[in-house]
Structure 1
Amino acid sequence: MRTLLVLLFGFCVAAHAQSPAEKRAATDRLLDALKVAPDERAATGLESELEQNWLRSGSPAVTLLMSRGLRTMQAGEDDEAIDSFSDAITLQPDVAEAWHRRALARYHAGDVNGAIHDLEETVKLEPRDFAAFRTLTDIAEAREDWKGAYAAWQKVMELDPKTRGGAERLRVLKRKAVGEET
């Protein structure tokens, strides 16, 4: 365990060697590249890089809390994950990914309203967070809110036009939302 903590601490220090302006510039470049990705494979790679950037966008302490939250969420311990993400938000409320991850944990725990609130905060902080709009789509679909799901997926496609299966999902949601064949 001690070795893992030392490695994780080293990773966090290296990840945070960039200034906030450099981190933001890197994220902006990746988001710009995502909009013009030539195919799904390229988009998937960019999505992964963005996710990693967003997970490491906070201070070293916030990054550790995010890692802990992800581990506990993967273990199905949603309440503990919510606590870790809440602690990250308390320390640094401007980290959009902390809000997004807490939204996912809340949704898995059955707190749909809490999840929606956290997603609203996520997109206030990062209006180009395609993953947050993807999560909004999933929640709307589960509630059979087809117009909401369609609107959220349109935003995903605006931000990430080559997302895997995106065009087909857009057609299906449009058909359910407005009854039109595409």
Structure 2
Amino acid sequence: MAILRRGLLLCLLSAPVLAQAPAPAQRQRLTLEQMFEALRHAPDDASARAVEAQIWQVWIQGGSPAVQLLMRRGIRHLESRSLEDAIEDFNAVIALAPELPEGWNKRATAYYLAGDYQNALRDIRETLAREPRHFGALVGLSHILEADGDPRGALRAYEQALAIHPRLAGHEQRLKDLRRKALGEES
């Protein structure tokens, strides 16, 4: 269980935190649709990571300056494992901007790390209702289902994440492990 939590935390916290404003050459804004298309067809891992970082930035940077401040603070609390404080910050993000999927996703992460899978699942559902392509939420869902003893559900969720982001970090080993647990495959 601790390994699962550590793996999920690394995955979710590896998402870039609010970066500085992009340089003028980088100001060509791709739409999320274009970014997801580029992610699906990335020729290599480095290209996929670059597009993934852009997607996370869009997700994290939504909302008013107050929402962004709360998001940054909540992420810092997550990183320092101050989970109650993180949940409080993400509660405020959701109250101010309930339409933003990342507020729900980050609170789901905090609940997951606190061992509150029921609330984490609820927030993942809210995240996916707002952004069905949220590969981070699908990876989180996979970890929760696995921890809850549903390896087939975990595999399905992870396969959904891979359909969106075929070059997820560590995907080959994770997929192999889930297939072994869910289907008894030793590939």
TM-score normalised according to structure 1 size: 0.82
Selected match of 2:114 from 100, 109, 114: 109
Tell me the amino acid that sits aligned with residue 73 of structure 2.
R
For structure 1, which segment, 163-172 or 42-51, has the greater mean C-alpha deviation from structure 2 after superposition?
163-172
Q: Distance in 2 between matches of 1:166 and 1:75?
A: 26
**Aligned CA-pair RMSD:** 1.9
Deviations 1:83-105 (A, max 9, x none): 11010101110000000000001
Q: Which of residues 115, 122, 133 in structure 1 aligns to 2:138?
A: 133
CA shift, 1:108, in A, is: 1.0
Amino acid at match of 1:34: L
What is the TM-score when the length of structure 2 is the normalising length? 0.80
Work out which of the two has the higher radius of gyration on C-alpha atoms and give 1 or 2.
Answer: 1
Q: 1:121 aligns with which of 121, 126, 136?
A: 126
Match of 1:148 in 2: 153
- Which structure 1 residue ranges, 4+ long, deviate > 3 Å from structure 2? none
Match of 1:67 in 2: 72
Cα separation, 2, equivalents of 1:28 and 1:144? 34
1:82 correspondence with 2:78: no
**For 1:126 and 1:90, how far apart are their aligned partners in 2?**
18
Deviation at 1:78, TM superposition (A): 0.4
The match for 1:174 is: 179
d(CA) in 1 for partners of 2:145, 2:45: 24
**In percent, how many aligned pairs have the same letter?**
39
**What count of residue pairs does the alignment treat as equivalent?**
163
Partner Cα distance (1:58, 1:150) in 2? 33
SS in 2 for 1:58: coil
Residue 32 of structure 1 aligns to a residue in which SS?
helix
TM-superposed CA distance for 1:143, in Å, is 2.5
Deviations 1:22-55 (A, max 9, x none): 98x6222211111111122221222122111100
Instruction: Tell me how far apart the structure 2 counterparts of residues 28 and 59 of structure 1 sit (CA, whole Å).
Output: 23
* 8 Å contact from structure 1 (residues 34, 47) kept in 2: yes
1:39 aligns with 2:13: no
Unaligned 5+ segments in structure 1 are: 1-10, 16-21
What is the Cα deviation at residue 127 of structure 1?
Answer: 0.2
Q: Does 1:160 align with 2:165?
A: yes
Gaps of 5+ in 2: 1-19, 23-27
1:180 positional shift: 3.0
Structure with the higher helix share, 1 or 2: 1
**Paired residues of 1:38 and 1:162 also in contact (CA < 8 A):** no
